[in-house]
């Protein structure tokens, strides 16, 4: 289902997809890393959910349980020095980019040891050390930052790329169109990845998105547009790897629409009265983690004992992050006045 500018992406695997997937196919080690990364995202968020409902996490959290195939498919196709711009539903994106679980958990706890010293919170995390240039509380805003990051890469003469994640709801905001247009004009090394979970908060995709296909919008800007099964981490990886290859080679941006399922509410506490339960049940049957595990088992790369070891290690990492967050100090209140400017010698 890798079809450039396809107006209605076919849901089944096509020869083109398989052929391209082969060229960027991850090796055994990377497949296992992707499996572990998805499980790490899943367990981090499941535990964050429990802690949120236990009153340990202030504010709001937007979880990506069920969507790990997109986060990890993207993350695995990027280098550590590549950039990623993310969304309000961005914990998984940061974990997939290699961010510290401790600093992330501490941040969403509002602790001084958080990656943003407690100033950002769940919706505004960032970790520049792994090129994660920020989640964003405003939808599609990353889409206009991306061409500038791409321009910087071009002017500095490196072979980095920037991937920008956004939801299907964001694809209906102006900055999406402005950002894709400018990136295409500049042939900037940008990979636009729409994480289409079919719900813009509580509004269904078909009620918010004319034309149906977000991938098809790429055709209007003369760039490749690809729709993939976002519950298949390997399909996401193949599409992103191809887009990254193009971007690194100077062939400009691509748009990937990864269709996935948000298992939980828009935010924790969303009763989801607008949505049939069957949809989530169907989503669970397409669990991206179970799918990759089945693939790994089929290829004899993973057995039950190995899987248990992986799960155990992840459990330990997540619990370590929680312990770190719980034991970290809250910020001193007056630190609310720090970090606004690099240079502020004035008393005012």
Choice between 153 and 325, CB closer to another protein: 153
Question: Considering only CA atoms, which of 127, 124, 123 is closest in space to residue 115?
Answer: 127
Choose the binding region for another protein from 71-79, 135-143, 219-227, 235-243 (rule: CB under 8 A): 135-143
> Binders of another protein among 151-170, rule CB under 8 A?
151-153, 155-156, 162
Give yes or no for a contact between 75 and 97, defined as CB atoms under 8 angstroms apart.
yes
Q: Which position among 1, 72, 145, 322 is part of the footprint of another protein (CB under 8 A)?
A: 145
Cβ neighbours of residue 294 closer than 8 Å, sequence gap 6 or more: none
For the chain, first and last CA: distance in Å? 58
Shortest approach of another protein to residue 159 CB, angstroms? Answer: 14
Q: CA–CA separation, 9 vs 223, rounded Å?
A: 16
Residue written as token pair 């155990």: 312
Site for another protein in 316-345 (CB under 8 A): 338-344
CB of 75 to another protein, least distance (A): 19
Residue 51: which of 108, 94, 89, 93 has the closest Cα? Answer: 108
CB of 309 to another protein, least distance (A): 34
Site for another protein in 61-90 (CB under 8 A): 83, 85
Residue 98 engages another protein in binding (rule: CB under 8 A): no
> Environment class of residue 181 by beta-carbon count within 10 Å: exposed (0-12), middle (13-18) or buried (19+)?
middle
Q: What residues from 12 to 71 belong to the interface with another protein (CB under 8 A)?
A: none
Tokens 């169109």 belong to 177
The reply to whether 100 sits near another protein by the rule CB under 8 A is no
Q: How many C-beta neighbours within 10 Å does residue 272 have?
A: 15
- If binding is defined by CB under 8 A, does position 295 make contact with another protein? no
What tokens appear for 49 in the block?
A: 């959910």
The residue length of the chain stands at 348
Task: Check: CB of residue 189 under 8 Å from CB of residue 162.
Answer: yes
Q: Which of 40, 42, 97, 119 binds another protein (CB under 8 A)?
A: 119
| Of residues 38 and 165, the one with the C-beta less far from another protein | 165
Q: How do 225-229 and 254-259 pair as beta strands?
A: parallel
Number of residues that bind another protein (CB under 8 A): 49
Q: Which of 46, 178, 268, 317 binds another protein (CB under 8 A)?
A: 178
Q: Which residues bind another protein (CB under 8 A)?
A: 83, 85, 114-120, 124, 126-128, 133-134, 136-138, 141, 143-153, 155-156, 162, 174-175, 178-179, 181-182, 185, 338-344, 346, 348
């Amino acid at each position: 289902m890798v079809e450039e500018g396809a107006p209605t992406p076919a849901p089944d695997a096509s020869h083109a997809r398989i052929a391209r997937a082969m060229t960027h196919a991850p090796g055994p080690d990377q497949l296992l890393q992707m499996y572990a990364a998805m499980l790490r995202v899943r367990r981090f968020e499941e535990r964050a959910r429990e802690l949120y409902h236990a009153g340990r996490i202030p504010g709001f959290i937007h979880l990506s349980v069920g969507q790990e195939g997109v986060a990890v498919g993207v993350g695995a196709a990027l280098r550590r020095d590549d950039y990623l711009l993310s969304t309000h539903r961005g914990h998984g994106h940061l974990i997939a980019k290699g961010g510290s679980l401790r600093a992330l958990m501490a941040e969403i706890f509002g602790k001084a040891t958080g990656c943003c010293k407690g100033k950002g919170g769940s919706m505004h995390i960032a970790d520049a050390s792994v090129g994660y240039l920020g989640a964003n509380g405003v939808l599609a805003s990353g889409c206009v930052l991306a061409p500038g990051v791409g321009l910087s890469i071009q002017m500095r003469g490196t072979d980095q790329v920037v991937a920008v994640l956004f939801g299907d709801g964001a694809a209906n905001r102006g900055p999406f169109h402005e950002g894709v247009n400018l990136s295409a004009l500049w042939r900037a090394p940008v990979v636009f990845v729409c994480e289409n979970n079919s719900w813009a908060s509580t509004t269904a995709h078909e009620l918010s998105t004319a034309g149906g296909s977000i991938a098809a919008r790429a055709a209007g800007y003369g760039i490749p547009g690809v729709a993939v099964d976002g519950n298949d981490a390997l399909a996401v990886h193949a599409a992103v790897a191809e887009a990254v290859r193009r971007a690194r080679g100077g062939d400009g941006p691509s748009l990937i629409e990864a269709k996935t399922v948000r298992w939980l509410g828009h935010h924790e506490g969303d009763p989801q009265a607008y949505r049939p339960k069957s949809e989530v049940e169907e989503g669970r049957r397409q669990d991206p983690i179970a799918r990759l595990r089945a693939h790994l088992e089929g290829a004899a790369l993973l057995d039950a004992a190995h899987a248990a070891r992986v799960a155990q290690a992840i459990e330990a990492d997540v619990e370590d992050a929680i312990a770190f967050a719980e034991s970290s100090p809250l910020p001193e209140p007056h630190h609310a006045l720090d970090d606004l400017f690099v240079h502020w010698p004035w008393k005012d």
